[in-house]
Amino acid sequence: MSFKPFSYQERYGLRLQRLALDGGFTCPNRDGTLGVGGCTFCDNRAFHPAYTQGKSILEQLDAGMAFHRRRGRQADGYLAYFQAFSNTYAPLDVLRSRYEEALSHPQVRGLVIGTRPDCVNAAKLDYLAALQRQGKIVEVEFGIESVYDATLQRVGRGHDFACTREAICETARRGLPVGGHLIIGLPGETREMILESAAILNELPISYLKIHQLQILKGTAMEAEYQAHPEAFLRLGADGYIDLLADFLDRLRDDIAIARIVSQVPPAFTDAPWGLLKQEELWKRLEKRWFLLPLQG
């Protein structure tokens, strides 16, 4: 058994730090195009770093660099991580101006663009591929969340898995590295379904995955669903999650790097007892599970 932790040093020979940005985009699941309430699990406010608020893209980058320097993090360069909402959801000329503002910063080496699979098209992907040919690092991260249409429908995503598959294939076909977000524990999914999803993901040209446990955020539609139908959720504790994750990783292609195994939101957004565990603590538990099967409790 093995899995490959994600490393910029290994990929590009550089210590790169991602700087999460709010590029001023919205999402078709919020602006009324597909819906207004968003995916049932989503509260995007939980993922906005404080330094992004009320600032231009260049100001956010400077504030983000200062934030990381204060914590003693050394970097050879930075990647502008367009994280909030759906960061290809605008006409191409708008995307161009926001991405190129970020790339104009002398310490920014490239872009990481988080988006929905239904918010890319050939022209946008061709533009990103052209940026990469000019020597910029460009990665596209898609919200996969689940490989099952029934789950995607249940959480109100507004697209199906065929859409995800096509977006990933079209992006990778242009030579762009593709990342994916996956949530473990969405309602209606069993342990077996989650393990089987590894085989489905193995067929896609994904470079890395960010995996996280379902966090039920306060005030979301998911919280109401959980209160009404707790039996539809796996309700994994930290060790139960790590146990399932280890079995999932065991089925995943070895070359898919693992960039994240847990989601952490500020305490104000959740009552989850273990969702506040540090990323490092969960990695330690995963390593322990790897070598000392199985965990107790």
Residues interacting with ligand SF4, by CB under 6 A?
27, 29-30, 38-39, 42, 44, 85-86, 116, 143
Kindly state the smallest distance separating residue 101's Cβ from ligand SF4, in Å. Answer: 21
- Provide the edge-to-edge strand list for the sheet that holds 178-184: 4-5, 257-260, 208-213, 178-184, 137-145, 108-115, 77-82, 16-21
Kindly state the smallest distance separating residue 178's Cβ from ligand SF4, in Å. Answer: 17
Kindly state the smallest distance separating residue 32's Cβ from ligand SF4, in Å. Answer: 12
Contact between residue 49 and residue 20 where contact means Cβ atoms under 8 Å apart: yes
H or E element in which residue 252 lies: none
Residues 6+ apart with CB under 8 A from 203: none
CA–chain centroid gap for 257, Å, is 13
Kindly state the smallest distance separating residue 95's Cβ from ligand SF4, in Å. Answer: 16
Q: How many CB atoms lie within 10 A of CB 157?
A: 28
Q: Which residue number is nearest to ligand SF4 in terms of Cβ?
A: 38
Residue whose CB is less far from ligand SF4, 35 or 77: 35
Residue whose CB is less far from ligand SF4, 137 or 211: 211
Residue whose CB is less far from ligand SF4, 152 or 249: 152
Contact between residue 252 and residue 211 where contact means Cβ atoms under 8 Å apart: no
Kindly state the smallest distance separating residue 263's Cβ from ligand SF4, in Å. Answer: 12
Residue whose CB is less far from ligand SF4, 1 or 162: 162
Residue whose CB is less far from ligand SF4, 36 or 50: 36
C-alpha 230/C-alpha 136 separation (Å) is 46
